[in-house]
């Protein structure tokens, strides 16, 4: 039985091949197959955001692209600098493109008007309708008449992925509260 096992083992080794071992083949150097532009979907007018170009490689990896030429299809809406800095100019949409070695990638960006900020002033009451909730609160009586001047302040911010959500605080006289809404330019 021992000789049978030794013989089977010898045949197995003989079947594994003979000759000199082969050297492994070096993998091919990956090459760029396409360009992807990465950046915000929306920017407020008067603001900037940095965009980057990524090279999608033949081996499935991604790497930062170099020697990029940046362009905007509508500089009156959005500008783009040599380093990929996109500036919001006016309400609308523009396509930002990156070209690397003849390959082009692009991304659409929406520019929304900047409604954010702080305002203060005065509100002159011309007439006060003392009805409903205003009557119950004694609103008009507390104003001191129709010629009353009330201090007013408004503070707004914009948020959300499309920068089209608006929120803030409105204070009129000694009454105030939070306000929220959507930009009137949504979908423009």
* pLDDT tens readout for residues 51-84: 999 999 999 999 999 999 999 999 999 999 999 9
C-alpha–C-alpha distance, residues 97 and 47, integer Å: 19
- Whole-angstrom CA distances from 106 to 2, 91, 103, 112 are 72, 19, 10, 19
3-state helix, strand, coil in the chain (%, to 5): 15, 45, 40
Q: Are 84 and 69 in contact (CB under 8 A)?
A: no
pLDDT averages per 10-residue partition of the chain, 188 residues: 49 52 79 95 94 95 95 98 97 96 96 89 76 68 68 88 86 85 69
**pLDDT score, position 125:** 74
**pLDDT score, position 23:** 75
**pLDDT score, position 24:** 81
**pLDDT score, position 173:** 80
**pLDDT score, position 53:** 97
What is the token pair recorded at 18?
């003979």
Q: Which residues contact 154 (CB under 8 A, 6 or more apart)?
A: 118, 119, 120, 168, 169, 170, 171
C-alpha–C-alpha distance, residues 179 and 171, integer Å: 10
Pairing verdict, β 48-50 and 117-124: unpaired
pTM of the full structure: 0.67
**pLDDT score, position 12:** 46
**pLDDT score, position 3:** 52
Q: Which domains does the chain carry?
A: 32-112 (2.60.40.1080), 117-182 (no CATH)
Please provide the DSSP assignment of 20-74 as one string: PPPPPPPPPPP-EEEEEEE--SEEETT-EEE-EEEEEETTS-EEE--S-EEEES-
């Amino acid at each position: 039985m021992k000789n049978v096992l030794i013989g089977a083992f010898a045949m197995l080794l003989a079947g594994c091949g003979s000759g000199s071992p082969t050297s492994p083949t070096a993998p091919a150097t990956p090459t760029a197959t396409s360009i992807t532009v990465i950046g915000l979907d929306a920017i407020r007018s008067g603001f900037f955001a940095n965009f980057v170009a990524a090279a999608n490689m033949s081996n499935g990896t991604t790497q930062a692209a170099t020697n990029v030429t940046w362009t905007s299809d509508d500089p009156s809406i959005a500008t783009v600098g040599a380093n990929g800095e996109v500036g919001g100019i006016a309400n609308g949409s523009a396509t930002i493109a990156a070209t690397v070695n003849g390959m082009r990638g692009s991304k659409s960006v929406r520019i929304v008007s900047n409604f954010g900020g702080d305002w203060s002033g005065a509100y002159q009451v011309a007439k006060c309708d003392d009805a409903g909730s205003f009557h119950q609160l004694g609103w008009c009586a507390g104003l001191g008449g129709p010629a009353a001047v009330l201090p007013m302040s408004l503070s707004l911010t914009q948020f959300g992925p499309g920068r089209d959500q608006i929120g803030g605080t409105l204070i009129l006289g000694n009454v105030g509260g939070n306000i929220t809404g959507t930009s009137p330019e949504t979908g423009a």
